[in-house]
Amino acid sequence: MAMPTFHLAPDLPPVSRLCFGSTSTPSLPFSLADGSALTGCPRVRAVHAGTMTMGEQSGAPSSLRLLDAAFDAGVNFFDSAEMYPVPQRSETSGRSEELLGRWLRARRAPRDQVVVATKVAGPSGQMTWIRGGPTSLDSQNITAAIDDSYVPMFGETEYDSSCQYTSVPIEEQLEALGTAIDAGKIRYIGLSNETPYGLMKFLQLSKDFQLRTKLLTVQNSYNLLCRNFDSGLAECCHHERISLLSYSPMAMGILSGKYHSCDDRGPPDARMNLFKGRYSEGESRYKLQSPKVKAAVKKYTQIAAKYGISPATLAIAFVLRHPLVASAVFGATKLWQLNEVLHATRIHLLDEILVEINDVHARYPNPCP
């Protein structure tokens, strides 16, 4: 099944991308912004497989089947994190990376055909089972996370707003990442849940450190219910040739409409029901009973029905049409959900649909920030 590869803004040249291959000589799948050719790696597809549910909501057999099906369909980019799966608990910590590593070994997927990204956990005041509950994202924690990772491919730091005024110097974080790059443990770096200031500061200091690789991506939430990326970070990404890896394109499944149909609760095995009371981060952001969320989802569902597509297809196609989105991470737990995601990569939204979408957004802006 052919899927489109990612793209940047129309007036920008292709930018370097993530690569999972031999660590001896760094290489990239596209030319850099300055036109220098760097080849030898796969193109990252329009969607990539998230492993956040694997090892908790999805058991090992179903997780491995989903990874197989995604790879067979052309998905070659897989995202994980040391804190996965969620909801986080000590008994399952690291299981998502372990399952992904097990799949890579069993599948014997050629290393030059697969892209793997993982993330180091920052301070949260919780997750004491991860390195004793890191109080900061310092060089020691970054190094430990990379050394302990089951898939030590891509170091991606996470922003924690609760520590924004007490965080360790970015220089210290870059030094640790640079050491890991030089040692061949990771290839390229990105940021997650970042702010415009944080992104620009990382870019500025990474140039001063003369790292062997540049910062390539930022992974933030972007969907019909959360378009905060457009209000500041998008401008930074546009001018600095940084791609968005958008997570939660379905807003934790809310945009499928399943939580607001019939009994207004949704299927009992849906994530927000299955882990009700155990997933504070998701529940605080995605307020199912919020009148604005309900109203917005109803309107988007009506738009999808009007044009003969599913609400999920509308949601994912909307994200993929953004010129700065390199790839959107999906969290399918069932094969039919994976197929729906793949179908959305072949959908082009007409201008008239986007007008209706923007009308809803103007009325109910970012109800899930």
pLDDT in tens, 172-224: 888 888 888 888 788 888 899 999 999 999 999 988 877 777 788 899 999 99
pLDDT at residue 134, as a whole number: 61
Q: Is residue 367 part of a domain?
A: no
CATH of the domain at 156: 3.20.20.100
Q: Is the pLDDT of residue 362 over 60?
A: yes
Q: Is residue 265 part of a domain?
A: no
> Known catalytic residue: 84?
yes
Dihedral (CA of 81, 86, 91, 95) sign: negative
What contacts 24+ positions apart, CB below 8 Å, involve 102-108?
A: 102/60, 102/64, 103/63, 103/64, 103/67, 103/68, 104/151, 106/64, 107/67, 107/68, 107/71
Q: Is residue 204 part of a domain?
A: yes
Distance CA 150, CA 237 (A): 30
> What does the pLDDT average to over 151-176?
60
Q: Is the pLDDT of residue 266 over 80?
A: no
Distance CA 77, CA 192 (A): 16
Helix, strand, coil abundance in the chain, percent, nearest 5? 40, 10, 50
Token representation of residue 290: 């919020």
Distance CA 296, CA 293 (A): 5
Amino acid letter, residue 233? L
The residue with greater pLDDT, 259 or 356, is 356
Q: Is residue 53 part of a domain?
A: yes
> What does the pLDDT average to over 151-167?
46
Contact 140, 102 (CB under 8 A): no
Global pTM value: 0.82
Contact 170, 205 (CB under 8 A): yes
pLDDT at residue 68, as a whole number: 97
Token representation of residue 48: 């990539």
Contact 342, 1 (CB under 8 A): yes
Q: Which of 84, 159, 300, 364 is catalytic?
A: 84
Q: Is the pLDDT of residue 37 over 70?
A: no
Q: What percent of the chain has pLDDT over 70?
A: 75
Distance CA 196, CA 199 (A): 5
Distances in Å between the alpha carbon of 228 and those of 194, 195, 349, 351? Answer: 12, 10, 21, 21
Residue range 134-143, pLDDT digits in tens: 655 656 666 7
Q: Is residue 22 part of a domain?
A: no
Using the CB atoms, write b or e for 212-247: b if 16+ within 10 Å.
ebbbbbbbbbbbbbbbebeeebbebbeebbbbbbbb
Strands (E), the chain: 47-50, 77-79, 115-117, 154-158, 188-192, 215-219, 243-246, 325-330
pLDDT at residue 138, as a whole number: 59
Residue with tokens 């990404």: 237
What is the span of the domain harbouring residue 202? Answer: 47-259+312-351
Residue range 279-309, pLDDT digits in tens: 777 777 888 889 999 999 999 999 999 999 9
pLDDT at residue 7, as a whole number: 36
Q: Is residue 165 part of a domain?
A: yes
pLDDT at residue 36, as a whole number: 30
Distance CA 285, CA 107 (A): 36
The residue with greater pLDDT, 146 or 30, is 146
Q: Is the pLDDT of residue 333 over 50?
A: yes
Residue range 76-130, pLDDT digits in tens: 999 998 889 888 888 988 899 999 999 999 998 887 788 888 888 766 667 776 7
- Overall domain count for the chain: 1
- Strand 243-246 versus strand 188-192 pairing type: unpaired
At residue 148 the predicted structure's pLDDT band, cuts being 50, 70 and 90, is low
Q: Is residue 13 part of a domain?
A: no
Q: Is residue 268 part of a domain?
A: no
